[in-house]
Amino acid sequence: MERTFVAIKPDAVQRGLIGEILQRFEKKGFKILGLKFVLLDRETAEKHYAEHVGKPFYEKLVKFITSGPIVVMVIKGKNAVEVSRRMMGATDPSKADNGTIRADYAQIMERNIIHGSDSAESAEREINIHFKESELVEDWHRNIRGWILE
C-alpha cells in the first residue's frame, strides 16, 4: 500500500466537479487519509512547484493554483501513485485516454482539473507541504477492502 497526494485545481472547484472527482477515487477503492478545502498562498504554491522554478510556465502555474480554492487530499491504496495518475489521464487533456478525469472534464493543459504526484518521493514531499502528519487519519478501516484487494 502506498500514499499519494492529489489536488483538485481551481478550475474544477469553480465548475462544481469536486464531488464527481472524489467519487472516482472512492469508487476505485482508495482510502482517503486526509482532505482539505484551501486557498493556497504564494509561498505554499512555490514550495509545491519548486521543481519548475525557472521554466517558462512556472509563474502561470503559481498564479493559477493560487487563483481560487482547491481541494487537497491524501489517498492510500495499492500502487496509488501509478493508478491515480492513470485515472487522471495525460497532462494534456487532448492526449488523455477516454474515460480519464482529464479527458472527461478538461480541454486544455493550462486548465487540466487535477494534480497528482508523479512518484512516491514526490507524493511524500507534497503531502508534507500540505498536511501535518496529525491531520492524516491512517488508522481506520473500510469494510469493503476484502472486495477490492486479496
Does pLDDT of 146 surpass 80? Answer: no
Residue 118 makes CB contacts below 8 A (sequence gap 6+) with: 81, 85
Does pLDDT of 149 surpass 80? Answer: no
Question: pTM for this one?
Answer: 0.93
Domains of the chain: 2-137 (3.30.70.141)
For 30-88, the pLDDT digits (tens) are: 999 999 999 999 999 999 999 999 999 999 999 999 999 999 999 999 999 999 999 99
With 0-12 / 13-18 / 19 or more C-beta atoms within 10 angstroms meaning exposed / middle / buried, residue 31 is buried
Per-residue pLDDT, 147: 78
Grid coordinates representing 64 are 493559477
Active-site residues, by number, are: 115
- Which amino acid belongs to residue 127? I
Per-residue pLDDT, 62: 96
Does pLDDT of 144 surpass 80? Answer: no
